[in-house]
Amino acid sequence: MNIYMDINFKFNKKRSGKMQWKKTLFSLTLLLLILFFNSSLAFSEEFSDVSKDYWAYTEIQSLSDLGIISGYPDQTFKPENTVKRAEFTSMVIKTLNKENISVNVANIFTDINKDFWGYETLLRSLELELIVGYPDCTFRPCNQITKSEATSIISKTVKNCEMPCDSKSSCSFEEVKYSELKQFADNEQVANWARPSFTKAVKNDLYVNHPDKNYLTPNNDLTRAEAAVLLYKIRQNPSVVVDKYKGPKLYAEKNRMVVEHLAATPYTASVNEVHITGLQATILAENIFPVRFVEKFTSKGSNKGDTVYLVFNKDLVTQEGTTLVPAGSKISAEIVDIKRGKPFHINGEVELNLLNLVTKSGAKYPLTATIVNNELFDPGFGACNLKRMGTIALTTTAAGTLMGLTVSADGDIGEGTVAGVAIGGGLGALFGLAAPGCGVNIPADKDIYIKLGSDLDVNLD
């Protein structure tokens, strides 16, 4: 589009200089805006060899607009051209928005030096453990990359497959036995080293097999169009990407819900699903997960109204690899009431009200849950016997949760059961066997399993 604009810089002596300069400034500003608008149009211009009905048009155009891929000076994209190993690595780093990560690894490739255009990108790929070289310590950056090699890189960024096994048992990736590949007529052509990668890719729909859906063609060189489709799929579905590979701008689409699962615990959960949509995860009610006291809890040193904390001593992670709650996050609880053991007073009582989950980033989420491990604990309880036990029990309140364990007078967890009855306002009075002077002591190294009473929505930091 040609722009013709005549700006008259001649001063009219009958007009003031001030007024003329205002008109001149306005004209120059308008000209700059028009030129900028036209340059923007030219920048986003579509490629002359990629029509709107081309099978990968949407993917190519989208990644081009994001600056992940680019065309040639003649305004072509050449979608059927193949991709070099270094080129694809660069595309992946841009897709993940990892261009600026710090690098702490040394170059291990003998055929790559600092003068190579992709030197920094390859170092970042090494830092992220995305690439490996050949046995002779070369990377061969200018070789064409095969679909198997590209899939190997992509699969490293992807979480483990959902395992078709009972949530009560553990199962490894190998148990899948690559069954996902059997649907393809050429599955036997997938090299042994590439089979795990293709299985993960197929399971997560991160593969491309155009035009024949019955073939993977794993040993073909990857085309530019195929590369665009693979990387576009990652941008569209960031929930399948392992946290360490997620850059700050990876979340192009947030409207696709992915179902993941919490790991099994010693206590059977009727539900173990976590629904993830973009940057938000919903941990469904009935899920069970462990926490611990930040420090040893003692009734002797605690008072009504005090706040105590439970901590996630390790990341709460789904089986598929998403970190839901980072280690160090805490659950706050208020001591609603506390009665210490006294001579001839057999009922030691403590009431705790769980309030909020507070993550390491400072995000706060209201919590409704119950403690499930209020049954028999370790049988060895030192000097205490069943008649010399203090207890802390748990029942649900209107605002949160009451929790409980059975403990011994000397601080060891002992045998016994927890008893509790609800009293006014939804709070619970917690009763148990207590010896004269027997206090409540809960070690900080014991897992306390929480079962959610309602869905818990958390942001993925």
pLDDT tens digit string along 215-256? 999 999 999 999 999 999 988 877 778 777 776 555 444 456
Which residues contact residue 2 at a Cβ distance below 8 angstroms, ignoring those fewer than 6 apart?
none
Average pLDDT, the chain: 74
Residues 276-319 have pLDDT tens digits of 877 788 999 999 999 998 888 776 777 888 888 889 999 998 88
Task: Give the mean pLDDT of 112-136.
Answer: 93
Residues in contact with 279: Cβ distance below 8 Å, sequence separation at least 6, in sequence order: 251, 254, 459, 460
Classified as helix, coil or strand, 57 is helix
Does residue 54 have a pLDDT over 90? yes
Give pLDDT, residue 223: 97
Give the three-state DSSP class for 425.
Answer: helix
Tokens for 150? 């590209």
β-pair type (349-358, 288-293): unpaired
- How do the domains of the chain map onto residue ranges? 1-43, 57-245, 265-459
Q: 331: which 2 tokens?
A: 């659950």
Helix 224-236 crosses helix 57-65 at what angle (to 10 degrees)?
70
- Residue 302 CA to its chain's centroid (Å): 37
Q: Which of 74-88, 182-196, 239-253 has the lowest mean pLDDT?
A: 239-253
Which residue type does 210 have?
H
Answer whether 454's CB lies under 8 Å from 409's CB: no
pLDDT of residue 213 exceeding 90, the answer is yes
Q: Give the orientation angle of helix 85-95 with respect to helix 224-236, to 10 degrees.
A: 20
pLDDT of residue 249: 53
- The rounded distance, in Å, linking the Cα atoms of 160 and 353 is 37
Give the dihedral sign, CA 382/385/386/388. negative
How many distinct helices (H) and strands (E) make up the chain? 7, 19
Whether 40 shows a pLDDT value over 60: the answer reads: no
pLDDT of residue 51: 94
Read off the amino acid at residue 131. I
**pLDDT top residue among 445 and 395:** 445
- Check residue 31 and give its pLDDT: 58
Contact 368, 396 (CB under 8 A): yes
pLDDT confidence tier of residue 437, bands split at 50, 70 and 90: very low
Strand partners, 335: 352
pLDDT > 90 in the chain, percent: 38
Please compute the mean of the pLDDT values over residues 128-153 and round it to a whole number.
94
Q: Is 335 helix (H, G, I), strand (E, B) or coil?
A: strand
Angle subtended at Cα 381 by Cα 346 and Cα 439, rounded to the nearest 5 degrees: 35
Average pLDDT over residues 167-187: 65
Token pair listed for 280:
């938000």
Q: How far apart are CA 80 and CA 233, in angstroms?
A: 19
| Range of lowest pLDDT (69-78, 238-247, 293-302, 422-431) | 422-431
pLDDT for 3 equals: 42
pLDDT in tens, 346-395: 445 666 677 889 998 888 899 888 777 654 223 222 333 323 333 333 33
Q: Which residue has the tokens 């003031």?
A: 16
Q: What percent of the chain has pLDDT over 70?
A: 65
Read off the pLDDT of each residue in 438-444 and give the average, rounded to a whole number: 65
CA distance 385 to 383: 7
- pTM greater than the 0.85 cutoff: no
Check if the beta carbon of residue 413 is closer than 8 Å to that of residue 443. yes
Across the range 39-43, mean pLDDT stands at: 41
Q: Which residue has the higher pLDDT, 297 or 182?
A: 182
CA-CA-CA-CA dihedral for 269, 275, 276, 277, to nearest 10: -170
Query: What radius of gyration do the chain's Cα atoms show?
Result: 31
Q: Residue 179: helix, strand or coil by DSSP? A: helix
3-state secondary structure of 369: strand
Mean pLDDT of 72-99: 93
Residue 74: exposure state from Cβ atoms within 10 A (0-12, 13-18, ≥19): exposed
d(CA 348, CA 303): 14
Place 109 in a pLDDT band, splitting at 50, 70 and 90: very high
Class of domain 265-459: mainly beta
CA–CA gap between residue 221 and residue 149 (Å, rounded): 9
What pLDDT score was predicted for residue 342? 54
**Of the given ranges (33-37, 71-75, 253-257, 259-263), which has the lowest mean pLDDT?**
33-37
Q: In the prediction, which pLDDT does 375 show?
A: 40
The Cα 5–Cα 24 span in angstroms is 13
